[in-house]
Each structure stands twice: as structure tokens, then as C-alpha cells.
């Protein structure tokens, strides 16, 4: 029996994955966590075989959580489950030791195949991710910069511009007519996309790579 642990900050996603896997004779979901910090504590005790890891987690994101888990137990097998398709994010997760990458719109068969493949010692990428990886290799000489620095959405650029103008989160929310939490979500997504450790690093990357163009 393959013991699977799910890490995601949305209970609906966790419940959906549990429904997908509940009737499989060789897979048993042994636990879940809503944050990276909680996942690390639980996994020490439960010791699952395969972890389904969301990237966009509050606080300790999925990339850093993956790094910490594998630093203490290199045998843990981690599959990224994400809505993000940026080449840089895929490379960051694989660079930290994840064995697979599956998009959140994947079907039941894909998720099960990913789990069983990773458990068997293989790697797994769903069709879309596999195509992204192949294209990144094919276009490496012509699009090197675009692979390293992902493009930001229009709203992310608006938030970043106001951050660079030294606006507080509340001020940004008021100027853009969005909630405080939405601003923080955009900030967190930009940190994940760029690999920056904090807002200072994000601003530095914005200046170095002209992210607002």
C-alpha cells in the first residue's frame, strides 16, 4: 500500500484529491496539512511514501517545504501539484528534489499514474508540463532570459509598481480596490515565480530584469 500525504492550503483541493484516490486498492491517504510548517511536523511522525505538494502555500511555500523535508529524509518522494505552469517554477521544484510535477486540472488517471510512477522510482510530468520542459530545452539558446525570469501578470505588475513606490499592503489594496489578502496573495505569487526570498529581493529582481516592462 502506497501511503500518500497531501499538502495544500485549500481544503476543497485536499478533499477533491482524497475523493480521486479513495477507491484505489494500492493507495491510502494517510494525512494532510494546510501549511508547510504543519506538513513538516506531521510527516516526521507519519512518514508517508509519496507527498502531493502545493507550491503556493502561506508562510513556508512548497518549494522551501520540499527543500526542508528532503534535507532530513532524502528518500521521501514529492510530487508538485500546482496551477502554475512557469518554467522557472517547475525547475525550482525539480531542483529542490521533487520527482514529479502535475497541474491541478489533471484527471484521476494522471494523478494515480504520477503517484504509482514516483513510488516505483521513476519521474512523472503530466502532458502539459512535459511539453513545457521540452520547449524550454529546445528554445534554451534563444529564450534563456525568459526561462529564468517568468512574466508577471498585469495585476502583479500593478502591485509590484506600488511596492516599489513604498506603499503599504493596505495602501495598495485601497489604490487597486482589492482586498488586503489579495494583495498578499499577489506578493506571494511573485516571490514564488521569481524565486526571491523576500520583498527586497523581489524589488531587486524587478530592477535587474526590468520586470515591469
Contact present, 100 and 114 (Cβ < 8 Å)? yes
Q: Domain check: are 58 and 110 in the same one?
A: yes
Give the CATH number of the domain where residue 199 resides: 1.10.10.10
Is residue 144 a part of any domain in this protein?
Answer: no
Is residue 100 a part of any domain in this protein?
Answer: yes
Q: What is the pLDDT of residues 65-102, one digit of tens each?
A: 999 999 999 989 999 998 888 777 888 888 889 999 99
Task: Give the residue with greater pLDDT, 175 vs 129.
Answer: 175
Q: Among residues 157, 143, 133, which one has the least CA distance to residue 205?
A: 157
Quick check: 143 pLDDT over 60? no
Is residue 171 a part of any domain in this protein?
Answer: yes
Number of domains in the chain: 2
Q: Domain check: are 111 and 44 in the same one?
A: yes
Q: Domain check: are 124 and 194 in the same one?
A: no
Q: Domain check: are 38 and 126 in the same one?
A: yes
Grid coordinates 489578502 are at which residue?
181
Q: What is the pLDDT of residues 42-73, one digit of tens each?
A: 999 999 999 999 998 888 889 889 999 999 99
Average pLDDT of the segment spanning 199-205: 83
Residue 99 CA to residue 81 CA, distance in Å, equals: 11
3-state helix vs strand vs coil in the chain, percent to 5: 55, 15, 30
Q: Domain check: are 110 and 153 in the same one?
A: no
Average pLDDT of the segment spanning 96-118: 92
Q: Domain check: are 66 and 158 in the same one?
A: no
Which residue range forms the structural domain that includes residue 63? 2-138
Q: Among residues 140, 201, 121, which one has the least CA distance to residue 209?
A: 201
Average pLDDT of the segment spanning 182-194: 88
Contact present, 5 and 50 (Cβ < 8 Å)? yes
Contact present, 193 and 154 (Cβ < 8 Å)? no
Q: Domain check: are 153 and 104 in the same one?
A: no
To 5 degrees, how large is the angle CA 181–CA 187–CA 189? Answer: 105
Q: Of 80, 110, 138, which residue is a domain's last?
A: 138
Q: Domain check: are 13 and 105 in the same one?
A: yes
pLDDT of amino acid 145:
47
Is residue 13 a part of any domain in this protein?
Answer: yes
Residue 174 CA to residue 183 CA, distance in Å, equals: 10
Is residue 143 a part of any domain in this protein?
Answer: no
pLDDT of amino acid 56:
86
pLDDT of amino acid 144:
47
Helix (H) / strand (E) containing 103: strand 100-103
pTM, two decimal places: 0.70
Q: Domain check: are 6 and 83 in the same one?
A: yes
Give the CATH number of the domain where residue 33 resides: 3.40.50.2300
Q: Domain check: are 93 and 175 in the same one?
A: no
Q: Domain check: are 24 and 53 in the same one?
A: yes
Amino acid at each position: 500500500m502506497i501511503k500518500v500525504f497531501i499538502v495544500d492550503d485549500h481544503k476543497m483541493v485536499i478533499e477533491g484529491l482524497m475523493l480521486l484516490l479513495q477507491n484505489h486498492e494500492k493507495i491510502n491517504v494517510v494525512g494532510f496539512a494546510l501549511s508547510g510548517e504543519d506538513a513538516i511536523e506531521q510527516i516526521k511522525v507519519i512518514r508517508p511514501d509519496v507527498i502531493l505538494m502545493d507550491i503556493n502555500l502561506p508562510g513556508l511555500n512548497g518549494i522551501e517545504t520540499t527543500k526542508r523535508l528532503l534535507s532530513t529524509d532524502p528518500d521521501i518522494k514529492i510530487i508538485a501539484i500546482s496551477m502554475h505552469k512557469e518554467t522557472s517554477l517547475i525547475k525550482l521544484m525539480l531542483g529542490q528534489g521533487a520527482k514529479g510535477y502535475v497541474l491541478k486540472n489533471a484527471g484521476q488517471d494522471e494523478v494515480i499514474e504520477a503517484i504509482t510512477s514516483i513510488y516505483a522510482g521513476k519521474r512523472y510530468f503530466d502532458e502539459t508540463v512535459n511539453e513545457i520542459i521540452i520547449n524550454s530545452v529546445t528554445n534554451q539558446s534563444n529564450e534563456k532570459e525568459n526561462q529564468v525570469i517568468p512574466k508577471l501578470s498585469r495585476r502583479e505588475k500593478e502591485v509590484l509598481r506600488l511596492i516599489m513606490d513604498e506603499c503599504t499592503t493596505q495602501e495598495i489594496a485601497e489604490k487597486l480596490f482589492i482586498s488586503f489578502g489579495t494583495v498578499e496573495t499577489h506578493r506571494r505569487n511573485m516571490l514564488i515565480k521569481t524565486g526571491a526570498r523576500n520583498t527586497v529581493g523581489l524589488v531587486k529582481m524587478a530592477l535587474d530584469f526590468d520586470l515591469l516592462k
